[in-house]
Structure 1
Amino acid sequence: MSFCSRDVCAIRLHGAQDTSLQKMIVASVYMPEADDPPPHDMTRLVNYCEEAGLELVVATDSNAHHPLWGMETGNERGKKLVEYLFTTNLNLLNTGSKPTFINRRSRTIIDLTLASEEASKHISGWHVSEEMSCSDHRWIRFDIQVKTLTAVPRRDPRRTNLDLYTLRLNTILEQQEGPQRIEGIAEIEEQVSTLTDTILDCYHQACPLTTPSTRSGRKNNWWGPELERLRGKMRRQLNRAMNTGTDEDWDSYKSTKAKYKKRLRYRSTNSWRKFCTDIETTMQANRVRKVLSNNSTITLGSLRKPDNSLTNTPEEAERVLVQTHFPDCVISHPVSWEEEETTPSEDEWQQTHEVISPQRTQWAINRP
């Protein structure tokens, strides 16, 4: 089912490592002042989550006043919204009486955070941020406490110390005394196993395990002193306008905010365009592909099906891709091949001796 519309945007979060919170729906909802709250699309979403047993978090601009979320007085919209919330399993997470919406005419609390019972237990640190938001609405911050993906240690072959690997392997092979003549399959398997273990041990010593970083420490390369100064100036002018309340100070704040938003949009957009235009070779494009493919958490998103509905799972999205791009193909079940043991003939053993020799094996190991 699709719950995204002009005023509602919902996404599904998957937490494979957290058994208590496998799936969660996070939605952003706008409640127009011209309509009675809550909007129909929101009620559909809430009902769907309750019936499907999904946890739900809703961040909404309610345009409603009520003492339940810190306003001194309420209005009819707030009363209707509260009456609706009492019929659902949603909890109100707002705390305190800090305004979430500030302009020259008013300071109100109209931005609400709602969460289902189990989701509420995983949310902490709810607060109205002092950070500038480029809007009359303030940022609302909170943490969702779930078990994060644990980075699995791995080896990067590109960082292998080849000098150490070659030195260790040559030293061990010189010290080992193999049989003058190999008789039978058992001895061949034993020698292959010994050589394989030796190569792997040397490789593991020359290329130790490393734990990849799960978070990037890089900052936005488009952020600079100009944006830092504009943000500081905008914060100072907002504080001054809130203290004095004069139209002149509010106009100054509004002008600086518009300039800051314009420069922010320009710098970020220009940086992305430069990044894309600088990809001129196949090697550079392949590097971007590797960066994206290394992230195992990236999954195929929802796609719109011919009946105008959206896919709910990656498997369903894959089927839509196949049916769209290969409409006449037939998806068959994989074939399982039964293993059959065979005994090599004398001719096959003779051919093996001609292809594989100690000299060729040594050459393959020492090949740079």
Structure 2
Amino acid sequence: MKRFFNTIPGDDACCILLHGDIGYYDSVRSADIARELLEAEATFKKIDVRINSMGGDVYAGIAIFNAFRNCKAEITIYVDGVAASMASVIALCGKPLYMSKYARLMIHGVSGGYYGNKEELKSCLKDIETLEATLCDMYAEKLQLTPEEIRTRYFDGADHWLTAEEALKLGFIDGIYDAEPIPEDSTPEQVFSHYQNHYNQSLNTDKNMFEQLKKRPLFANCANDEDVLKRIDELETTAGKVPDLEAANGKLKDEVDEYKKKENEAQEAADETLVNTAFEEGRITDPEKTVYRAALKTDREKTEAALKTLPVKRRAMDNLGAPLADGESAWAKRQKEIEAKNSKK
């Protein structure tokens, strides 16, 4: 899988970080998240999303919200620090959604500004009201409340900050997890800064890892991080071929073993024929068969030459008495011919 700015691949799942402001040109960009999400779901069945954001652009946030909602992977979202404003809406995509007991969730109405005449200002106000209606629908689905109930409770012009315990009781989240302890009386800004600093430290650790990789022989020619990633991709591609190569190697090994088996069987048959022929010709005795069989396995060439130098001791009667193809010896066959000839006289 390609490495993007906000994505950390793992063994069975990957993690997407929503750390920072949401917008088209901010830390959390909708186009980047959507692209990374499509790349991730093609590789992983489970995706963890970790949020630490004070919110941002509503339209960019809706795009991210829809990207998570339409994702085929299982999405689990964790609020590590702050999920405020539009970030709290995106958090609703988590199935499930968890918060650190030190984290904060914040809901409020849509804010915006416009410069122009009264008609243009009226249009801006209408846009804000339309966006609020959309956000009310999003919250209502999660909280099992009506959009009007959401508008009355949370879109009253105030910022509604919720602790993890409060968010759990109200149904915003599905559970609370323990994170790195921070003072419980920390302000939302302090919580956000704490986790943002932790994230930046993780990035520095990531950079150190790349520097360490460059020192290894396999990465010696890598001039920058992109070269390291390309080299890792090459290694992954090569590693992916290993199972097929092992299977092909195993098949070839079986074929070689079968060939060797047949070759050994043919050689043993040839040796047995050589020994039996030498016995039938009277070159060796029956007890000597075992000796010459063993000698043929040790040095076939010399043993075969030695057998040929031995004198043939078989008598003519032996040849005559040997059975032919039809199972009858030449001598017996000749005797029958003579008897048949004499009986006609």
TM-score under structure 1 normalisation? Answer: 0.28
Larger Rg: 2
Structure with more of its chain in helix, by fraction? 2
TM-score under structure 2 normalisation? Answer: 0.29
